[in-house]
Structure 1
Amino acid sequence: MRAVIQRVNYAGCRVGGDITGEIQQGLLVLLGVEDADSDVDAEWLAAKICNMRIFSDEEGLMNRSLIDVDGGLLLISQFTLFAQTKKGNRPSFIRAAKPDKAKPMYEGMIKHCSAILGKPVEVGVFGADMKINLENDGPVTIIMNTQDKDNF
């Protein structure tokens, strides 16, 4: 799984003009799934995301987690995180998992994060054309890859 994690003051997702998910302070996470991913990866990534200390404490140091600040989480599926751009000008998405694998993994991430946070996770709509609006805070943006845990 690949995740782009953004600390935000606000993030919202619209599909066809309807808001499907919206948060104030918290994290917007764009999530891509590949065939090699398993539920173990989802559990590991969910714990990392929810416990990552990237929110400021009273002294302005990044020392508080999403749990500590009682922040929101907006989780958006995004297969394009597995784009391969080595050849030509059209990205290839061959490494991205097909929907029959990716959708259950995405839903598993929602459940894992919700359980850790003790509250619902805001979401987009899997496979839909989504419009994401956000105000990045910092900016703080972190990229993680569960297939390369030693470097993250």
Structure 2
Amino acid sequence: MRAVLQRVRHARVTVGDEPTGEISRGWLVLLGVGPGDTQKSVDWLADKVANLRAFEDAAGKMNLSVQDVSGGVLVVSQFTLYGDCLKGRRPSFTGAAPPAVAEPLYEAFATALKMLGVPVATGRFCADMLVELANDGPVTFVLDVPV
């Protein structure tokens, strides 16, 4: 799994005219699923997202987790995180898991975060989405689940 975490003051995703998910302070997680990912990948990443200390404490130090600040997580599927742009001018997406594999793991990731006590909102898998955010900092991390 590969995730881009963006610390946000607020974020929202809509499909067409329908809002599907919205959070105030927290993480916007763009989530890509690879073909070798498993429930173990889901559990590792959910724990990392829930407990990563990248929110500022009273002294202005990144010392608090999303849980510590009573924040939420907006999870958006993003297969293009596995896009290969090294050859030619058109990206290849053969490194991404097929939808039949990716969707259950995407849903399992959202569920795992909820089980950790984090409020979760989501986009819609395989949809053309509009994602709006106010990046806080900006603070952005790219996480690759260890194999």
Decide: shared fold, TM above 0.5.
Answer: yes
Deviations 1:54-78 (A, max 9, x none): 0000000000000100101100000
Q: Distance in 1 between matches of 2:72 and 2:49?
A: 12
Is 1:135 the counterpart of 2:130? The answer is no
What runs of 5+ residues in structure 1 fail to find an aligned partner? none
Q: Give the number of the structure whose residues are more often helix, by fraction.
A: 1
- Aligned-pair Cα RMSD in Å: 0.9
Tell me which residue corresponds to 1:90: 90
Query: Pairwise mapping of residues 3-152 of structure 1 onto structure 2 (< 5 A)?
Result: 3-119=3-119, 121-147=120-146
- For 1:130 and 1:112, the matched residues in 2 are separated by 23
Identity value in percent: 48
Distance 2:142 2:51 in 1: 15
Count of paired positions: 147
TM-score normalised by length of structure 2: 0.98
Contact kept? 2:73, 2:118, Cα under 8 Å: no
The TM-score, its normalising length taken from structure 1, stands at: 0.95
The aligned amino acid for 2:69 is V
Gap regions ≥5 residues in structure 2 = none
User: Which AA in structure 2 matches 1:104?
Assistant: P
2:116 alignment partner, SS class: helix
